[in-house]
């Protein structure tokens, strides 16, 4: 048996992609509420286009999303029916601190999550909670400029202390920042950054990076003080960069691209900035806003485990403007001729999961947790509303097989596996509902039409069987 009997099988969601109820229960506005569906989404999530108010011309999918705000109990019951041992979800910062800089938290928001965690407990589901999944109160962006401002560290610390205290005994597994390296690729989502005209963007991103890393270390410290049972993880948008070929220039390029993502985790897991990063920033004249005592905080408060999302591997090639770019992903990659791709152009590489797990485990020697993996696909319900998603089953079975080999053959320590979007939800990259990941179909389209009815897909029974057999019956 490669997986231990307490292996955490489950699924993952994020508040802004499923909750909705954006103006209910005292909730404040967040950056993620303001990213519309459509062509303006990309310039907005990358901080290139300022968009801090709703307008008439855009559709905002996060406002209602799949309305889990009102459906959570039924949805949890479906997860329990599949046999989930864990459920990864995120807390909407603006439910707890609607503006972000209040002295007192919003009780209604705290109660909302307490009810969810108590229900999880009743169902025997261990919550795995992301403290921030791409969300930042809009007030903190307008007043303080988002994570480029050091004051954000204090606001985050307050949020962390509030939830660790309130949910002590109900939640043990926490992730500080979802896909922390996304900050470099989608800085509005990753750090609430909107670039000013003429601003040095690289400098702004690394100010934000240091502040998030510091906030992550402080949250780790507080979590351990409040309850030594707490286990804190970092979270990386993973996917090994392969060299395009054995040209040493391409091998070096792959190493460089891997470094650019891994440096965050190097800090969170090893407790210090790696030299390759410090040297590069020095050459590029980018400053890290390190103050007295910061380096000690980073060094003393490293994470307990490493979590990551894995959808695809990537390919690095020295700059060549003619290279065929793999489509549809925020991460730069040239096309891998050995792999097929999803309908959204994300290349499918199950073996890449084993490779990625080995690289990460070799580097940090801490338990891993696969907290996102899955296939975004167009699902077509038949006349009875049933989706026969064999393509999703194939994708997941192939990935789980490779994950199993990483454990069984390579000895990687692995805490669990939560597939992404266990119930259909809004896509982070595109804002579409039609890019579906779930075992559960939700009747809602890209423009907010539909009954929100939930229907199990073919993959629902398949995953139930996978969990019941602890990964043996794929």
Could you give the residue numbers annotated as active site?
372
Q: Is 271 strand, coil or helix?
A: coil
x/- letters, 290..309, toward ligand P53 (CB under 6 A): -------------------x
181 contacts ligand P53 (rule: CB under 6 A) = no
CB 401 within 8 A of CB 466: no
Q: Which is nearer to ligand P53, 83 or 448 (CB)?
A: 448
Q: What is the DSSP letter of 124?
A: T
429 contacts ligand P53 (rule: CB under 6 A) = yes
Determine the Cα–Cα distance for residues 346 and 291; give it in Å rounded to an integer.
40
Binding segment toward ligand P53, per CB under 6 A, in 141-149, 296-304, 327-335, 389-397: 327-335
Element spanning 128, H or E:
strand 126-132
Give the nearest distance from C-beta 264 to ligand P53 in angstroms: 14
Q: Which residues, other chains included, contact 329 with Cβ-Cβ below 8 Å and sequence gap of 6+?
A: 311, 312, 345, 346, 429
Q: Which is nearer to ligand P53, 376 or 471 (CB)?
A: 376
Q: Which is nearer to ligand P53, 106 or 430 (CB)?
A: 430
List 31, 106, 257, 427, residue binding ligand P53 (CB under 6 A): 427
Q: Residue 360, exposed/middle/buried by CB under 10 A (0-12, 13-18, 19+)?
A: buried
Q: CA torsion sign, 262 to 268 to 270 to 273?
A: positive
Give the nearest distance from C-beta 443 to ligand P53 in angstroms: 19
Q: Which is nearer to ligand P53, 180 or 298 (CB)?
A: 180
Near ligand P53 in 116-135, by CB under 6 A: none
What does the block give as tokens for 439? 């075992």
212 contacts ligand P53 (rule: CB under 6 A) = no
Q: Which is nearer to ligand P53, 298 or 426 (CB)?
A: 426
329 contacts ligand P53 (rule: CB under 6 A) = yes
List 80, 318, 323, 330, residue binding ligand P53 (CB under 6 A): 330
List 32, 215, 223, 428, residue binding ligand P53 (CB under 6 A): 428
| Helices and strands (H, E) in the chain, number of each type | 15, 12
x/- letters, 379..418, toward ligand P53 (CB under 6 A): ----------------------------------------
List 8, 14, 89, 267, residue binding ligand P53 (CB under 6 A): 14
List 64, 75, 179, 212, residue binding ligand P53 (CB under 6 A): 179
Using alpha carbons only, give the angle 465, 425, 351 rounded to the nearest 5 degrees: 55
Determine the Cα–Cα distance for residues 292 and 365; give it in Å rounded to an integer.
29
List 311, 369, 462, 463, residue binding ligand P53 (CB under 6 A): 311
Q: Is 309 strand, coil or helix?
A: strand
CB 457 within 8 A of CB 387: yes
61 contacts ligand P53 (rule: CB under 6 A) = no
Kindly give the pairing relationship between strand 305-309 and strand 414-420.
unpaired
Q: Is 361 strand, coil or helix?
A: helix
x/- letters, 16..35, toward ligand P53 (CB under 6 A): -x------------------
Backbone angles phi, psi at 6, to 5 degrees: -100, 25
Binding segment toward ligand P53, per CB under 6 A, in 217-225, 252-260, 410-418, 420-428: 420-428
Backbone angles phi, psi at 412, to 5 degrees: -70, 135
- Beta bridge partner(s), residue 436: 377
Per-residue H/E/C for 121-160 = HHHCCEEEEEEECCCCEHHHHHHHCHHHCCHHHHHHHHHH
What does the block give as tokens for 128? 């795995």
Binding segment toward ligand P53, per CB under 6 A, in 197-205, 252-260, 401-409, 428-436: 428-436
Interface contacts to ligand P53, rule CB under 6 A: 14, 17, 178-179, 237, 309, 311, 329-331, 372, 376, 420, 427-430, 435
């Amino acid at each position: 048996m490669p997986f231990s009997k307490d292996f955490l099988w489950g699924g993952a969601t994020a508040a802004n992609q499923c909750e909705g109820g954006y103006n209910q229960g005292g909730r404040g506005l967040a950056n993620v509420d303001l990213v519309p569906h459509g062509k303006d989404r990309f310039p907005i999530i990358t901080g290139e286009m300022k968009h801090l108010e709703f307008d008439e011309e855009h559709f905002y999918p996060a406002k209602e999303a799949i309305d889990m705000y009102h459906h959570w109990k039924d949805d949890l019951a479906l997860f329990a029916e599949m046999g989930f041992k864990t459920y990864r979800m995120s807390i909407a910062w603006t439910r707890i601190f609607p503006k972000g800089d209040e002295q007192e938290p919003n009780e209604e928001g705290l109660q909302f999550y307490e009810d969810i965690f108590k229900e999880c407990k009743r169902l025997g589901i261990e919550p795995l909670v992301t403290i921030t999944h791409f969300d930042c109160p809009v007030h903190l962006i307008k007043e303080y400029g988002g994570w480029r401002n050091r004051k954000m560290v204090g606001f985050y610390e307050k949020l962390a202390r509030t939830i660790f205290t309130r949910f002590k005994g109900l939640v043990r597994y926490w992730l500080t920042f979802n896909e922390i390296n996304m900050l470099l690729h989608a800085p509005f989502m990753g750090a609430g950054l909107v670039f000013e005209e003429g601003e040095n963007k690289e400098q702004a991103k690394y100010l934000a990076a240091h502040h998030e890393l510091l906030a992550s270390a402080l949250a780790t410290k507080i979590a351990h003080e409040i309850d030594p049972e707490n286990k804190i993880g970092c979270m990386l948008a993973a996917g090994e960069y392969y060299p395009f070929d054995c040209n040493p220039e391409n091998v070096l390029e792959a190493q460089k691209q891997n470094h650019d993502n891994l440096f965050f985790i190097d800090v969170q897991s090893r407790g210090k900035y790696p030299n390759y990063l410090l040297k590069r920033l020095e050459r590029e004249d980018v400053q890290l806003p390190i103050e007295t005592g910061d380096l000690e905080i980073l060094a003393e408060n490293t994470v307990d485990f490493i979590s990551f999302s894995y959808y695809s591997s990537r390919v690095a090639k020295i700059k060549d403007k003619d290279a065929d770019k793999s489509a549809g992903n925020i991460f730069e990659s040239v096309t891998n001729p050995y792999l097929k791709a999803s309908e959204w152009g994300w290349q499918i590489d199950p073996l890449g999961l084993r490779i990625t797990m080995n690289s990460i485990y070799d580097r940090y020697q801490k338990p891993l947790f696969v907290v996102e993996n899955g296939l975004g696909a167009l699902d077509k319900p038949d006349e009875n509303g049933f989706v026969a998603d064999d393509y999703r089953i194939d994708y997941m079975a192939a990935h789980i097989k490779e994950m199993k080999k990483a454990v069984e053959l390579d000895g990687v320590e692995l805490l669990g596996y939560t597939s992404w979007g266990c119930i259909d939800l809004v896509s982070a990259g595109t804002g579409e509902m039609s890019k579906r990941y779930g075992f559960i179909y939700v009747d809602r389209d890209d423009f907010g039409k539909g009954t929100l009815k939930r229907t199990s897909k073919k993959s629902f029974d398949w995953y139930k069987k996978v969990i019941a057999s602890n990964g043996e019956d794929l």
